[in-house]
Chain A
Amino acid sequence: MRNTLYILIVDDDQRMAKTLKDIFNIKGYEAEVTHSGHDALKMVVKDDFDLVLTDIKMPRMNGVELCRKMRESRPHIPILLMTAYSTDILVKEGLEEGAVIALHKPLDLESLLDLFSSLRKERSVVIADNDYEFCSTLGNILRTRDFAVTHVTDPQSVTESIKSDSHVVLLDMNLDVTSSLMVLERIRERYFHLPVILMTAHQDEIKESIDAAFKIGAYTCLYKPFHIKELFQFLTEIRHKEMKRVLKEAAMRR
């Protein structure tokens, strides 16, 4: 996992794409360039881009169609539109198709770079599981992917271990379901937007409690032993959603 933003620039104007890539590189971001929507679709499936910056008016596949197609293959990656046409009806359509913001050319690069810097790349995860071994191994794997990890083995101290910069809580649902549900409720009360991923080895025994947890607002549930790739997919999805939220808030303020 990269420790900086990884941006895909899509513009049929090669010089526009090149100059943007060079600027982003100098500012410490990684960026790839493509000049067609079709290639962009292939690239977002192959690589873990954090966001896509695409022109709207392009031959064959325009930016709006790209948004539409990406909703099928990579629905959570934030898409930023660029346009030279201020009254373009495609801008409206693109935003309806899920793009988070439409930027006008010439781009206000100062504001765009400010926006990027507000998207934190570093991730912080709280693992709440009374199985110390499990906590430790999962924590080590996450650290290799540049996550900051906090272990909690005592369910009562989970909420105290959550910091303002925590991004995700991985909460174990063991047979003591009442206690787990109470922890989940306390997290929801104090940190409403903080995603909580449940983990359990007792899929069948506690089915009703898992349903109850979803009703309280659990993000998803992983059944042990789960594939680590599955966890990373959820973590990426959560990250993209959070980025979209930050970008949308920024767009509202503009």
Chain B
Amino acid sequence: MSKHKSFFSLILFTATAFLMRITNPMIRRLEARSKYLEEIVEERTEKLLETQEQLIRKEKLAVLGQLAGGVGHELRNPLGVMSNAVYYLKMILSDADEKTKEYLDILSSEVQNANQIISDLLDFSRVNSLEREKTVVHDLVFSILSRQPAPENVDLSATIPPDLPAVFVDSRQIRQVLLNLITNAYDAMPEGGKLSIGAHSKNGQVDIFIVDTGSGIPKKDLERIFEPLFTTKARGIGLGLSVSKNLIEANNGKIAVESKQGKGSVFTVVLPTSEVVS
């Protein structure tokens, strides 16, 4: 009897050992799988929260934008009267002393600044429909530069091949973006420097480079410069680059930045050449 018992015990032990040998790796695999799934769930939950936060922030910004846009519009009326009044005074005081002229210039330039802030707010708060057309980058860049010449202490060089394929974009919107990037570059070089604008084409797109030798952007700010209301400037409300990014993306393009503090920045704008939506 005891012989049988020990025999069964042996079989049971062997079977258990055998089963454990088989199931242990399975359990380990299951445990690993479960851990992996938990991690995924955690990661996805984080992403979901992040997206929700972004959405809420976007909604808040949209409401703020609408409100600010409305106020901005209303402000253009009194600004218009101020602008007229300064223009009148400048006309009748053409032989005034230098100090008076300086103060009149200050007034008109501040009216322009205020109007620019309103324009930025309005650009941010509205979604304009696109009017895409074939646009020659060479002509666009040089027409911007003729209207926005470099300050005396900035050495400007623009080498854009005139035979680059035309880009298929809303030329007004892209003009606004390039003008913004060029003005930012001038602002980054108050002590003077060099601004180089170049372009080349590859894989059905045109890359435009705006390279300055200005103060550069600190690494911690680099990720945030396209965020709305982020600014490192003493003046301005920090919508220029955010609006630029929105406009470029609406035109199926991309915008990127590389910068080294104290050395300067490179902004790259990539624009599509064909009508195919990427």
The interface of chain A, by Cβ under 8 A from chain B, is 13, 15-16, 19-20, 22-23, 26-27, 84-87, 104-107, 109
Complex Cα distance A104/B115, Å?
11
Contact residues in A for B128 (Cβ distance below 8 Å): 87
Which of A19, A86, A107 contacts B122 (CB under 8 A)? A86
Option from B76, B85, B92 in Cβ contact (under 8 Å) with A26: B92
Which residues does chain B contribute within 8 Å of A13, judged by CB atoms? 77, 81
A86 smallest CB distance to B (angstroms): 6
Q: Which residues of B contact A104 (CB under 8 A)?
A: 76
Given A13-B81, A16-B80, A84-B76, does the pair A106, B88 have CB atoms closer than 8 Å?
no
Interface residues of B (CB under 8 A from A): 73-74, 76-77, 79-85, 87-88, 91-92, 111, 115, 119, 122, 126, 128
Q: A84-B76, A87-B122, A105-B76 are in contact. Are A19 and B92 (CB under 8 A)?
A: no
Write out the residue numbers on chain B whose beta carbons fall within 8 Å of the beta carbon of A26: 88, 91-92
Q: Which residue, A27, A84, A104, has most C-beta atoms of chain B within 10 A?
A: A84
| Residues on A with beta carbons closer than 8 Å to the beta carbon of B79 | 105-106
Q: Do B84 and A107 touch (CB < 8 A)?
A: yes
Q: Is B122 a contact of A105 with CB atoms below 8 Å?
A: no
CB within 8 Å for A16 and B84 given contacts A105-B77, A105-B79, A106-B79: yes
A19 to B83, CA, bound (A): 9
| Contact A84–B73 (Cβ < 8 Å) | yes
Q: Counting chain B CB atoms within 10 Å of each CB, which of A20, A105, A107, A109 scores highest?
A: A105
Bound Cα distance A26, B126 (Å):
39
Most buried by A among B91, B119, B126: B91
- The answer to whether B88 and A23 touch across the interface, beta carbons within 8 angstroms, is yes
How near does chain A come to B172, taking the closest CB pair, in angstroms? Answer: 12
| Residues of A close to B119: CB separation below 8 A | 86
Q: List the A residue with the shortest CB-CB distance to B111.
A: A106
Query: Whole-angstrom distance between the alpha carbons of A19 and B111 in the complex?
Result: 16
Minimal beta-carbon separation of A62 from chain B (angstroms): 15
Residues of A within 8 A of B76 (CB): 84-85, 104-106
Give min CB distance, B206 to chain A, whole Å. Answer: 27
Given A23-B84, A23-B91, A84-B76, 13 further pairs, Cβ under 8 A: A16-B81, A19-B85, A19-B88, A23-B87, A26-B91, A26-B92, A27-B91, A84-B73, A84-B77, A86-B119, A107-B83, A107-B84, A109-B84
B83 to chain A: which residues have CB within 8 Å? Answer: 106-107, 109
A105 CB contacts on chain B under 8 angstroms: 76-77, 79-80
Query: What are 29 A-B residue pairs whose CB atoms fall within 8 Å in the complex?
Result: A13-B77, A13-B81, A16-B80, A19-B81, A19-B84, A23-B84, A23-B87, A23-B91, A27-B91, A84-B73, A84-B76, A84-B80, A85-B73, A85-B76, A86-B73, A86-B119, A86-B122, A87-B122, A87-B126, A104-B76, A105-B76, A105-B77, A105-B80, A106-B80, A106-B84, A106-B115, A107-B84, A109-B83, A109-B84
Q: How far is the CA of A20 from the CA of B76 in the complex (A)?
A: 15
| Min distance, Cβ B86 to any Cβ of chain A, angstroms | 10
Known interface pairs A86-B122, A87-B128. Does A109 touch B87 (Cβ–Cβ under 8 Å)? yes
Chain B's nearest CB lies how many Å from the CB of A24?
Answer: 10
A109, B84: Cα distance in complex, Å:
8
In the bound complex, CA of A22 to CA of B111 (Å): 20
Contact residues in A for B74 (Cβ distance below 8 Å): 84
Q: Which residues of A contact B122 (CB under 8 A)?
A: 86-87
Contacting pair A20 B77 (CB below 8 A): no
How far is the CB of B129 from the nearest CB of chain A, in Å?
10
Return chain B residues, CB-CB under 8 Å to A16. 77, 80-81, 84
List the B residue with the shortest CB-CB distance to A19. Answer: B84
For A84, the chain B residues whose CB sits under 8 A away are 73-74, 76-77, 80
CA distance A26 to B74 in the complex (A): 28
B143 to chain A, nearest CB (A): 13
**What 3 A-B pairs come out closest when comparing CB atoms?**
A19-B84, A105-B80, A84-B76
Bound Cα distance from A16 to B88, whole angstroms:
12
- Cα distance A127–B154 in the bound complex, in angstroms: 60
